[in-house]
Structure 1
């Protein structure tokens, strides 16, 4: 609980800074998606703010006026309506329709998933050691999430939900067996919903290659270049990793990923030009030269 409290305090300080900053006359105001989950937005907003401060262009960040679903944010981004930058997991479709800054903000850990389960069945996934065994259980996901497509493409049964908060109630009610969540999100989610009778599975680590990027409108090439320039400077100086570890280091270490049984999945929606061989961008080595099997199609392994 101490880790969660420290994480929350860090979020509140960061977002209060962004909200209170003054706009100079020559600054371009950039709108990012408003979110009711301040803890989820704090890290990308912090990284975006720092990258833009290093870019050489004067920007001022502000939250958008409405908290809307991610699909609507992407629609608004493409029409230049109410949002200038969005962060989300990448896909071929999203990179076709929008301009992606191809530096994974959470170092690929969006594709590292541990499961929330019912407290009454904490060991429901004990003994699962491969994908075929995992297919005997049902997962819950939002119907619009990229992860839903990835999981179903691997033959997993996914029970779709239309509302994020409802998924926790569906889990407790037995509508599905487990709720896979990113290792950068699950500790905070567990703390917020533990009173419902939810606990953390201690057995599995589901892995697939994934990247969370900043996206801008396809025509906004100057903004894309400025964000990329700032992020590259953070990588070079080591500040990128320092900030990542400040937000997520203790939370990730607490999950003991090394002692979990890995279940590796393919991600058929990952663009071919994802910079997997820039090893400094990723938490684990995903370069195809030394890639784990889940980076290849099954036909290539035969």
Structure 2
């Protein structure tokens, strides 16, 4: 009798173990304040997925994104989850959770500029105007491809160096997401910088969650959790109530800005993601050539 019961107990034990996973997310720049919303989305997904899951944050300051993705594919490794901007290469090399984390707000960009140059740069009204200026962007950032395809002149370096380069006028504008820029400009030592008024970039783009190609288990937990949160309204409630999102929408005042829209490649896989997952910014569309 004992041996007939034991297999059932083992199955129950294995099922319990299978329903619990520990996610170790690598944190670019190592600054949890900047990515508070993105981390909260991961926690939301895990809370709405079946099973009991844990999240550990692994700061990775100074580590380039390409290196982080290489680490992500190591088994075992220090991390098994990362969020980053979309790129076709990342989608092919890794397993992507096809729900944009910020509903596309990452594709709405404002420009950090030197206070002393606000008047000089206030004449930017269209894509053609923007092409006349140098824009700071991160080395290896996937949106660089989209921007260059639209004719923008990018100067690239590491994230930390870009702020110094802006101070030394190595380029004219530094593009940042609307949910990032206000937190970043509030940091000490950036009192001489400001957000360029009256204009914003807009293109379909966002952070996505990535796991190693062979970790379908982790992928499915995250996808199921986010889909459930959308179905029961928890995702939208969280999105609209999170302080970073509210602050970003309030302070960016997109309705008062010209939106310079960038075209995506026709083959971009971002077009297959349902419209219900994307936020549509309201603003005046610039007269792009």
Q: TM class by shorter-chain length?
A: 0.7 to 0.9
2:278 is aligned with 1:275: no
- Could you say which residue in structure 2 is the equivalent of 1:258? 255
- Could you say which residue in structure 2 is the equivalent of 1:93? 89
Q: Residue 56 of structure 1: CA displacement?
A: 1.0
2:58 is aligned with 1:64: yes
- Structure 1 pair 270/41, CA: closer, same or farther in 2 (3 Å)? farther
Task: Tell me if the contact between 1:92 and 1:270 (Cα under 8 Å) persists in the aligned partners.
Answer: no
Distance 1:169 1:65 in 2: 22
Q: Residue 171 of structure 1: CA displacement?
A: 0.9
Distance 2:60 2:190 in 1: 29
Of 170-179 and 36-45, the range deviating more from structure 2: 36-45
Distance 1:269 1:160 in 2: 25
Distance 1:123 1:207 in 2: 23
- Could you say which residue in structure 1 is the equivalent of 2:24? 31
- Could you say which residue in structure 2 is the equivalent of 1:45? 39
- Could you say which residue in structure 2 is the equivalent of 1:17? none
Distance 2:189 2:108 in 1: 21
- Could you say which residue in structure 1 is the equivalent of 2:10? none
Give 1:54's match in structure 2, choosing from 38, 48, 57: 48
Question: Scaled by the length of structure 2, what TM-score is found?
Answer: 0.83
Once the two structures are superposed, residues 92-118 of structure 1 have per-residue CA deviations (whole angstroms, 9 ceiling, x without a partner) of 111000111100010011110010111
Task: Tell me if the contact between 2:205 and 2:270 (Cα under 8 Å) persists in the aligned partners.
Answer: no
2:78 is aligned with 1:82: yes
Question: Scaled by the length of structure 1, what TM-score is found?
Answer: 0.80
Q: Residue 58 of structure 1: CA displacement?
A: 2.5
In the comparison of the two structures, how many residue pairs are matched? Answer: 263
Once the two structures are superposed, residues 29-67 of structure 1 have per-residue CA deviations (whole angstroms, 9 ceiling, x without a partner) of 221114521112322222212211221122211123754
Question: Which structure 1 segments of 5+ residues have no match?
Answer: 1-24, 286-291
| CA radius of gyration, larger in | 2
Q: Say what the alpha-carbon RMSD is for the aligned residues.
A: 2.4
- Could you say which residue in structure 1 is the equivalent of 2:8? none
The residue correspondences of 1:73-222 to structure 2 (distance < 5 A) are 73-80=68-75, 81-161=77-157, 163-192=158-187, 195-222=190-217
Q: Residue 129 of structure 1: CA displacement?
A: 2.1
Q: Residue 275 of structure 1: CA displacement?
A: 3.4
